Amino acid sequence: MEANPTVPPTRLTPPTAPVVRRTLLGDAIRRFRRNRLAMVGLVILIAFLLVGVLADVISPYRYDQVFFTKRASMLPLVDPTHPLGLDNSSRDYLSRLIYGARTSLTVGMLVPLIAFAIGMPLGMLSGFRGGWVDFTIQRLVDIATAIPPLLFALFLLSVVGSGVGNVIFVLAITTWIEPLRLTRAQFLAYREKEFVTAARALGASDWQIVFNHILPNVLSPLLVAFTFAIPLAIFAEAGLSFLGIGITEPTASWGKMVGSGIGNTIRVYYHLALFPTLLVALTVLGFSFVGDGLQEALDPNRSN
């Protein structure tokens, strides 16, 4: 009787773990979410953004509604129909603060957007082309830098007049220099890189090199700079409105409200200047936290 042939023992292979594909964007989002201050700033900005967008819904009164039968500058928590009192023109102060969020955030977002739309193309052209193009653009920058931005803004507003649109226009054309300089510096650093030289050797056109190879690598610092430019625009609008040449009545603006609240009545009705000042500071703090978080999240040298 023949013996059964020995059957070799089967080896059980352990189940393989699923392959997780990681991307640069996914890593950046993961790092940003781990930054607690950045998440706090994001929550603050989302809250103010919702307040500004839904101002017509959540505001108890219109920003320009006047209550003639009530005493002006009424203290907070005195009349339940006006929790934060009235301003010097007998308008509901809570409603003014809510509508002021819309004005300040609109200015804060549109000013850097227009400034970058002006400065980025000029910086790309100056940094990539070089030569006489770079020389001409840099001389234009030198001329613009020699003009004090505040005085130039005051002059332009005295010519075109006040208002939200004019303030956005004036602040945008006085703040396009920094985006231009940053974009030019990034393009000067990347235009001589090996991958750019290889793309040029393979026959890529200038447009392809700029938009497919250089621009994706410089978007991170430009995005961080854009985030930090938003609170600067809010500060600038608040300063101009505080001086009385920015946002005009009856449009609600936090900076305008601070300027109107500072006067002979500030010792009694201190809240007229305190509340909008705190809201401006909180908004700027939120953008600063988000900007710091983006700077850390988009840094390629940071480990996950």
How does pLDDT run across 113-168, given as a tens digit for each residue? 999 999 999 999 988 887 888 899 999 998 888 888 888 888 888 888 878 888 99
Does 19 score more than 90 pLDDT? no
Residue 299 phi, psi dihedral angles, 5° rounding: -75, 115
Q: Which helix (H) or strand (E) holds 21?
A: none
Most confident of 70-74, 114-118, 249-253, 297-301: 114-118
Sorted by sequence, the CB contacts under 8 Å of residue 165 that are 6+ apart come out as: none
Residue 267 phi, psi dihedral angles, 5° rounding: -70, -25
What is the residue-averaged pLDDT of the chain? 82
* Banded pLDDT at 110 (limits 50, 70, 90): very high
Nearest to 60 by CA among 83, 88, 44: 83
| pTM (two decimals) | 0.80
What is the spatial distance between Cα 120 and Cα 182, in angstroms, rounded to a whole number?
Answer: 8
How does pLDDT run across 153-170, given as a tens digit for each residue? 888 888 888 788 889 999
* Banded pLDDT at 11 (limits 50, 70, 90): low
Higher pLDDT, 72 or 68: 68
Domains observed in the chain: 51-297 (1.10.3720.10)
What is the spatial distance between Cα 169 and Cα 158, in angstroms, rounded to a whole number?
Answer: 13
Does 26 score more than 90 pLDDT? no
Distance of alpha carbon 243 from its chain centroid, rounded?
Answer: 23
| Residue range 71-94: mean pLDDT, rounded | 75
How does pLDDT run across 195-223, given as a tens digit for each residue? 888 888 888 888 888 888 888 888 888 88
Residue 1 has what pLDDT? 47
